Amino acid sequence: MNLNDASFEELLNALHDGVYITDGDGKTLKVNQAYERLTGLSGADLLGRSMEELVKEGVISQSATLRVLHGGRPVSVMQSLSHGKKLLVSATPILDAGKRISYVVSTVRDMTELLRMKHERDELQQLKQLRNSTAKLHAGQQDNLLRSPLMADQEVSGRVLSLARQVASSSVKVLLQGETGVGKTLVAQFIHNASPRASEPFLALNCGALPENLIEAELFGYAPGAFTGAGPKGKRGLLELAHHGTLFLDEIGDLPLPVQVKLLKVIEENRFIPVGGLELKEVDVRIISATHHDLKQRVAQGSFRADLYYRLNVVPIHIPALRERREEIAPLLHYYLDRFNTRYERQVRWSLEALDLMCEYAWPGNIRELINVVERLVVTNQTGTVEALDMPEEILDLNPPDTNGTGLPLRKVVENAERTAIRAALREHKTTRLAAKALGVSQATVVQKMKRWEQSD
């Protein structure tokens, strides 16, 4: 590759995207004019300098080139420059005959304006409406997202809301199903608050958090001296304390088999005997249970009683994961940001890039993970603005496992580049016809791509 060839340089400078080329040691060999325009950096000042040196001096925040040299495969990163501009950098290694890296070629795209336009549109179309309603959703007893207009509009989430409201008026047994952290406790609380038992106790027990003997004692209570370490006056169990109210049994699939037998008897007869006691106690308790396990499978394995399963599973309600209702992510982020700003007396705000990364993240830990991340970012922030590079590693990672280490999926990289190029051309030329001409494509292509992006967004 002759980097000093005049035709090659002319070709590089004709590209709309920035191009940055280094050798196999990370030393800068060539940058095009678009890179200088996008970054405000002078190519003459960069030539001959190593990427490690530029990162150490803070000229750039992180180097895709160095990641390629370290890992030997294509990488995409979000890069911050010293003057605040945000860039998407995709770097690819060029190998010699001996399979060694001889060059690294990076393409650079300005993401700041695209993200700004995207979020301004989101703000106009839905963010304001959702943000205004979110405080109401979480106020008081925290009815969570069940009151959201979007939840009512979506088929799956609308069914959650409809069932929760419908079953609240009776004492029918409800089994809440969904991944860890989706808010099963909040849904149970919502059902209780909307029921005739709302003024009575709502008590919760995580069945997987205690050993068998302690779970039994917590549920049923115990008589004085019932076992070693038992209090001299005994203890009332949750079933007795929740009399006339609601008992929420979370992770019911982890309930030990002997305790399952006693719980089944309570459900059938509304009475029980405390551990080590002789006296029958009668109770009127509504039981709502929840699990992230497949209870049918547990029944088949013999670790969960079939008769108890059918007693508890009168009305099953599946709560979708947060990634299945992405429209809720931005309002939740704003709500909890305000909440923790108030709690810790801070005035932290999101940058557009940070907000975009978090809205794209899959949130495997669901709402619980989101709350923890927001709290962490608020208390650790030192500048007043949470930037993209402040994100935890799992959110900032632009190379998810399902891409086989090849960086962003090719479709996504190409789409981002097309969006950036088309929007830049429209800003400069004002009409789709002139923008298409400048880009060397038909006007119909530009219009069709814009319509498809609007529909997918």
What share of the chain has pLDDT > 90, as a percent?
35
Exposure string over 347-377, b if 16+ CB within 10 A, otherwise e:
ebebbbbbbbbbbebebebbbbbbbebbbeb
Tell me the whole-structure pTM to 2 decimals.
Answer: 0.55
Specify if 127 maps to a domain: no
Angstrom CA distances, 199 to 193, 244, 424, 435, stand at: 8, 9, 59, 64
Polymer length of the chain: 457
Residues 297 and 168 in one domain: yes
Specify if 147 maps to a domain: yes
Determine the pLDDT at residue 197: 93
Handedness of CA 376, 378, 381, 386 (dihedral sign): positive
Q: Phi/psi of residue 230, each to 5°?
A: -70, 145
Mean pLDDT, the chain, integer: 80
CB-count burial class (<10 Å; 0-12, 13-18, 19+) for 199: exposed
> CA–CA separation, 392 vs 120, rounded Å?
25
Type of residue numbered 416 = N
- Please state the rounded mean pLDDT for residues 430-450: 75
Tokens read off for 345: 């007396």
Residues 273 and 357 in one domain: no
User: How many separate domains does the chain show?
Assistant: 4
Residues 314 and 337 in one domain: no
Residues 364 and 229 in one domain: no
Specify if 131 maps to a domain: no
**Which tens digit of pLDDT belongs to each residue from 273-332?**
888 888 889 999 999 999 999 999 999 999 999 999 999 999 999 988 888 888 788 888
Residues 362 and 254 in one domain: no
Residues 210 and 267 in one domain: yes
pLDDT over threshold 70, residue 450: yes
Type of residue numbered 127 = L
**Which tens digit of pLDDT belongs to each residue from 225-261?**
666 655 667 788 899 999 999 999 999 999 999 999 9
Residues 328 and 449 in one domain: no
Of 50, 43, 34, nearest in space to 107 by CA: 34
Residues 206 and 347 in one domain: no
Confidence of residue 429 (pLDDT cuts 50, 70, 90): confident
Range(s) of the domain holding residue 356: 323-396
**Which tens digit of pLDDT belongs to each residue from 3-14?**
667 778 888 888
Specify if 344 maps to a domain: yes
